[in-house]
Amino acid sequence: MLEQLKKQVYEANMRLKNENLIIFTWGNVSGITEDRKYMVIKPSGVDYELLTPDKMVICDMDGKVIEGNLKPSSDYKTHLEIYKAALNVNGVCHTHSKWATIWAQSKRGIPNYGTTHADYFQGYIPCSRDMSNEEIREDYEKNTGKIIVETLEGKDFIKNKAVLVSSHGPFTWGNSANDSVDTAIVLEEIAYMAKYTEDLNPKIDSINGVLQSKHFDRKHGVNAYYGQGN
């Protein structure tokens, strides 16, 4: 069942290790079917060297395991909340990558300081509010997803493809499982550059708004012209 999507999700998960976005099993990637009835996600706590496409877990949108002998990632409810809220998102990624997690632990969003950031994200990368004790105790992973959705209320998820969860780490997404990992790679680089930009110039302002819009729109706008098209 869903052999092609399981293969895509497996390959996306393996990229986390290959791109040095994780250590041990500190990450997970999922993908959703075109009809948005099923999610494929990495199994919980399984070493990457032991992963294979057939070990990917299929869940329905209520979180019930439809296929697989292993438990889904402990973050599966977070992924589901993102898919339910953003119908243009087809892949979700979570890591504890070093630089993005430093910003999350600092409870700070990442300001847009330059065109590298503007090429991929429409604005700054927000950090969520702190979770209440009740939210943590009641249904932690589901409420993490709800807070991500709350953080981007009224915004297009594909133009804002990342949220830093306060005290936790980054969640990213995209048009596919693979695209969500691309976003995680870019986010990590932006987080690194922003940290040292502030170190070199503590009084630095965010990028000029016109320049920011120009760089984002030339890649992602209605009249985008970057690249060779289709």
Tell me the sheet residues that pair with 72.
43
Q: In what order do the strands lie in the sheet with 27-32?
A: 65-67, 57-60, 38-41, 27-32, 91-95, 169-174, 162-165
226 annotated active-site = yes
C-beta atoms surrounding 177 within 10 Å: 27
Q: 190-225: string of b/e by CB count within 10 Å (b at 16+)?
A: bbbbbeebeeeeeeeeebeeeebeebbbeebeeeee
User: Which among 119, 140, 192, 217 is annotated as catalytic?
Assistant: 119
User: Which among 54, 60, 156, 226 is annotated as catalytic?
Assistant: 226
Mark out the alpha helices in 64-201 (DSSP H runs). 76-85, 98-105, 115-118, 133-151, 177-200
CB 110 within 8 A of CB 164: yes
140 annotated active-site = no
* Separation of alpha carbons 14 and 155, rounded Å: 30
- As annotated, the active-site residues are 119, 226
